[in-house]
Amino acid sequence: MTPTRRPASHFVNANAVSVRGMARNGIGRPSKGERDAILAKPPVTFGAILKENADKEGLSYGDYLLLLAAEQLNMPQYAPKPPRNRAAELDIPREASSAAA
């Protein structure tokens, strides 16, 4: 006897939230707008330098490459915006140190 096949739709999670729905509902990272996909594969040693510099700037690797390209082409309007310093935006008082011995 041959097993019956179920349609693929049977395995779809009915409670799953679509990625598009997340952007509309304010959940997740805000959209950066329409983008083009360009892949770069630098040599490993150069890639490590790029990653280290991107981390120091607080940028994603892709945004760091965009920053370099925008600066080189003298097109600052295409440079990514610097990351927000959320810690500086919050007015959270520092906890007093305990002098208990």
Q: How many helices (H) and strands (E) does the chain have?
A: 4, 0
Give me the phi and psi of 25, to 5 degrees please.
Answer: -85, 0
Parse the chain into domains and list their residue ranges.
Answer: 44-78
Please indicate, yes or no, whether the overall pTM of this predicted structure exceeds 0.95: no
pLDDT of residue 89: 72
pLDDT digits (tens, 9 = 90+) for 11-60: 555 555 555 545 566 678 788 889 899 999 999 999 999 999 999 998 99
C-alpha angle 68-74-80 in degrees, rounded to nearest 5? 45
Alpha-carbon gap, residue 38 to 32, rounded angstroms: 15
